[in-house]
């Protein structure tokens, strides 16, 4: 089992180390969803996602050992230029949680600046991009402090492991194109502990796939993902759902390998609606879709039926619609998007994203 605990990663107290590290990390959109977890951030079923490009977090980590004493975590956190104590507290907790992997976090004073490429009020979950950006910074910091060297793949695997401890879906953000997280016989080297890069195993049509994020509501979600995962524990459909997710993943991996868009779209849309059905059948039940989410789904399906074009949708844990289609049909679908879907968005807001290359050092 992968275990990154390393009590040796302590800075020699006679030397002062300071510096600055920065990473940009994107969000990702799950096709087979992670919904339900146990233990230390372990998924109840395997999931697969496409890595996004334009929706990202940039995190700049300044560190110094100068003047640091005691065993506590010292961190100032600025979000979009403003000091943010509630985010700071979450990150202090996270750093404390991983202090058996990176014991040096207790020897450092951190100042972290973070901003998102998308508006905070867009209703887009930022935990995947922000936690993966932070994990990348920490893994780079280990290399700078201790001269550790890693092959890129090993480095990303460790960063993925650490991202997972911050937010499950974040562990899939570090890789180009696509990532699988969760043990499955259908993906070699897959694990519950970290995501693996999966871009090489899918048809190249997906390497520049579009994901237009249609913002149905910019408000904060009434039920957090954390609470949603917890409600799966009492959900009567939980066990059959986990079995179904495994079967769907298996079929989706084949469809994605072959570039079979019809099969890809059918599974992806079923998954999105299953996720929301699980919310509706939780106790207490809740609904995150809004009237315009349903209206968009109707219009997308009608347009697809009329034109035969491979344009599909998915949703994450919120009302926004992610519109998925290959680049080759962009010119044909764009007028439909602008005239039929964008007017249903709150303040006409849409983030026109594509599949991207994962986390990059900046």
Q: Which residues bind ligand DP6 (CB under 6 A)?
A: 30, 33-35, 41, 47, 125, 127, 167-169, 225-226, 229, 275, 316-317
Smallest distance, Å, CB 125 to ligand DP6? 6
Minimum Å gap between C-beta 258 and ligand DP6 is 23
Q: Is the Cβ–Cβ distance between 130 and 174 less than 8 Å?
A: no
**Nearer to ligand DP6 among residue 173 and residue 292 (C-beta):** 173
Q: In angstroms, give the least distance from the CB of 134 to ligand DP6.
A: 13
Q: Residue 33: which of 217, 242, 195 has the closest Cα?
A: 242
Q: Are 195 and 128 in contact (CB under 8 A)?
A: no
Task: Tell me whether residue 101 or residue 131 sits nearer to ligand DP6 (CB atom).
Answer: 131
What the block records as the tokens of 108 is 């450092």
Nearest residue to 134 via CA among 72, 36, 63, 220: 63
Cβ proximity to ligand DP6, 47 vs 59, nearer residue: 47
Query: Helices then strands (H, E): number in the chain?
Result: 8, 14
Three-class SS of residue 323? strand
When the beta carbons of 74 and 269 are compared against ligand DP6, the nearer one is: 269
Cis peptide before 147 (omega within 30 of 0): no
Pure H helices in the chain: 85-97, 127-146, 152-166, 225-231, 238-258, 261-280, 291-307, 330-336
Contact 317, 225 (CB under 8 A): yes
Least distance to ligand DP6, CB of residue 44, Å: 11
Decide the pairing of beta strands 178-181 and 195-197.
antiparallel
- Nearer Cβ to ligand DP6, position 210 or 229? 229
Q: How far is the CB of 20 from ligand DP6 (least distance, A)?
A: 27
From the number of C-beta atoms within 10 Å of its C-beta (0-12, 13-18, 19+), residue 46 rates as buried
**CB of residue 170 vs ligand DP6: minimum separation in angstroms?**
6
Nearer to ligand DP6, 182 or 265 (CB): 182
């Amino acid at each position: 089992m992968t275990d990154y605990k390393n009590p040796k990663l302590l800075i020699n107290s006679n030397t002062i180390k300071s510096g600055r590290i920065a990473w940009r990390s994107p969000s990702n959109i799950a096709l087979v969803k992670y919904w339900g977890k146990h233990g230390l951030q372990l998924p109840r079923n395997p999931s697969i996602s496409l890595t996004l490009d334009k929706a990202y977090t940039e995190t700049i980590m300044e560190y110094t050992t100068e003047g640091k004493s005691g065993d506590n975590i010292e961190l100032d956190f600025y979000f979009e230029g403003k000091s943010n104590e509630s985010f700071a507290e979450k990150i202090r907790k996270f750093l404390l949680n991983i202090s058996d992997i990176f014991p040096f976090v207790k020897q450092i004073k951190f100042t972290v600046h973070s901003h998102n490429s998308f508006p905070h009020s867009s209703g887009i979950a930022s935990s995947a991009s922000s936690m993966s950006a932070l994990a990348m910074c920490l893994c780079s910091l280990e290399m700078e402090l201790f001269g550790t060297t890693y092959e890129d793949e090993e480095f990303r695997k460790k960063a993925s492991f650490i991202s997972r401890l911050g937010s499950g879906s974040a562990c899939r953000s570090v890789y180009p194109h696509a990532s699988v997280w969760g043990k499955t016989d259908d993906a070699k080297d897959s694990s519950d502990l970290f995501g693996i890069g999966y871009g090489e195993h899918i048809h190249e049509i997906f390497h520049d796939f579009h994901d237009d994020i249609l913002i149905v509501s910019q408000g904060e979600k009434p039920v957090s993902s954390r609470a949603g995962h917890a409600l799966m524990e009492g959900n009567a459909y939980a066990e059959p759902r986990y079995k179904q997710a495994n079967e769907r993943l298996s079929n989706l991996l084949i469809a994605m390998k072959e570039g079979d868009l019809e099969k890809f779209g059918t599974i992806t849309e079923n998954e999105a609606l299953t996720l929301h059905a699980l919310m509706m059948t939780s106790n207490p039940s809740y609904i995150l879709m809004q009237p315009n989410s349903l209206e968009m789904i109707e219009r997308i399906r009608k347009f697809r039926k009329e034109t035969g074009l491979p344009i599909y949708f998915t949703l994450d844990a919120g009302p926004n619609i992610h519109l998925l289609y290959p680049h080759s049909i962009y010119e044909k679908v764009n007028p439909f998007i602008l005239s039929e879907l964008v007017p249903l968005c709150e303040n006409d807001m849409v983030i026109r994203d594509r599949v991207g290359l994962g986390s990059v050092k900046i």
